[in-house]
Amino acid sequence: MTIYIIIIILTILLGYCLKPNKNQKNKKIYIIIIFSILAIVAAIRNYTVGVDTPQFCDAFEKISRMTIEQAEESTRYEIGFITLCKLLSYITTNYQILIIVTSLFIMFSVGQFIYKESKDCILSSLLFILLNCYAMYMNVMRQAIAISIILLGYTYFFKNNKIIKYFFTIIFASLFHQSAIIMIVTIFLQKLKFKNKYFLITIIISGIIFVFANPILNLFTKLFTTYSGYLESQFAVSNYFASVLNALVAIIFFVIGICYNKNKFKEKDRTVLDFYAFMIMLNVIFFVATIKISIFSRLTTYFNIFNIVWIPEFISNIQKKEDKRFILLILLLCTLFYWGIISIYRPEWHGVVPYKTFFE
């Protein structure tokens, strides 16, 4: 856990020294340094760091001995992940190459996302760690690759109205994790203006999904057959402490953002804040669903990452300096408490504590 505390301190101190929010040059230097550190720490981790990392390392070793066709038939993994493993196996059959390459790509994508989209890169970098996105991405490798692809697609295609290219980016991401197809919903949100009434809609939809969680799960597993086995697994039940804690944090960010930007949503012109609001709205809905069925947490990862730009965006719109500082302090304390509780008392959720390098 010490390594993560050091990174958090470095993130703050380097931000204080460089003042990256003042100009693009310092911002780029800051992002390069911080995300290089995050990438290196993730890349040299032992295969025991991350709950799912051992299975991906095992899959890599098996796939390296097979043809792509054989791997498709004998494993449950998507063709994108299989192809990646096979290509890397031509370089070396040591599974560490998989950890290194995926870590570098994922951290590059997130760093690029923050650099291009965030109003406060220090806060966004901290949130990436404190919201346990960093820990999660060292765990769910395939899904982290899919999310990283989508983040690049969002920055270069979605925001520039290149919707066809963005659509194919989502399809490409789904070749690494089928659940990425859920992001097609974002295409329909592109032109929508977020209105305060959507807060009520969020409550209604969350309630419906909470009540009808099991039928929805059945439909989900029919659409994504890879996860049909989850019906009989621990993912088909709830983890109340984890789910309630995650849902509570998601709701806090959503409510504060809506309350302090309600006048912004009344404006006629659509802004990026509107889109972020929809992302966090979906994040809340799926986190509430997770209280009943744990597998829905897989879908929250696609929307939860937008918190790292949503929070700096809505804070920047708060006019009163006193309110801005107060909200920033509250949110940082909440996220620090959230990160600390999970890291100390529930390290098994992500499996990144204790941290070990592959040299050990």
CA distance between the termini of the chain: 16
Q: Encode pLDDT of 37-78 as tens digits.
A: 999 999 999 999 999 999 999 999 999 999 999 999 888 899
Q: What is the mean pLDDT of residues 94-117?
A: 98
With a CB cutoff of 8 Å and minimum separation 6, the contacts of 301 are: 136, 140, 143, 147
The token pair at 350 is: 């992500």
Write the pLDDT tens digit of every residue in 201-224: 998 988 888 787 777 767 766 665
CB atoms near residue 45 (< 10 Å): 22
Residue 193: exposure state from Cβ atoms within 10 A (0-12, 13-18, ≥19): middle
For the residues 79-89, what does the mean pLDDT come to?
97
Whether the per-residue pLDDT at 187 is higher than 70: the answer is yes
The pLDDT, as a whole number, for residue 239 is 56
Whether the CA torsion 96, 99, 102, 107 is positive or negative: it is negative
Percentage of the chain beyond pLDDT 90 is 71
What's the confidence (pLDDT) of residue 220?
65
Report the distance separating Cα 156 and Cα 163, nearest Å.
10
Phi, psi of 191 (to 5 degrees): -100, 0
pLDDT digits (tens, 9 = 90+) for 140-157: 999 999 999 999 999 999
Strand partners, 45: 357
User: 327: part of which helix (H) or strand (E)?
Assistant: helix 321-345
Comparison of pLDDT for 89 and 360, the residue scoring more: 89
The band of 236, judged by pLDDT with boundaries at 50, 70 and 90, is very low
pLDDT for position 302? 96
**Phi, psi dihedral angles at 48 (to 5 degrees):** -80, -10
Q: What was the pLDDT predicted at 237?
A: 46
The maximal CA–CA distance of the chain, rounded, in angstroms, is: 62
Average pLDDT over residues 100-104: 98
pLDDT at 338 over 90: yes
Predicted confidence (pLDDT) per residue in 287-331, tens digit: 988 887 777 788 899 999 999 999 999 999 888 889 899 999 999
pLDDT at 209: 80
Q: Is the pLDDT of residue 6 over 70?
A: yes
Mean pLDDT of 99-110: 98
82, 63 contact by CB (below 8 A): yes
- H or E element that contains 253: helix 240-260
Cα–Cα distances in angstroms (integers) from residue 187 to residues 15, 109, 162, 313, in the given order: 34, 20, 10, 21
The reported pLDDT for the residue numbered 233 is 47
Average pLDDT over residues 12-28: 95
- pLDDT for res 226: 58
User: Which tens digit of pLDDT belongs to each residue from 158-175?
Assistant: 999 999 999 999 999 999
Higher pLDDT, 268 or 27: 27
Computed over every residue of the chain, the mean pLDDT equals 90
Lowest mean pLDDT among 72-81, 92-101, 226-235: 226-235
For the chain, the 3-state helix, strand and coil shares in percent, each to the nearest 5, are 75, 0, 25
Answer yes or no: is pLDDT of 186 > 90. Answer: yes
pLDDT reading at 234 higher than 60: no
Nearest by Cα to 299 from 217, 233, 244, 237: 217
pLDDT of residue 278: 95
Give 120's pLDDT tier (boundaries 50, 70, 90). Answer: very high
Residue 253 has pLDDT above 90, yes or no: yes
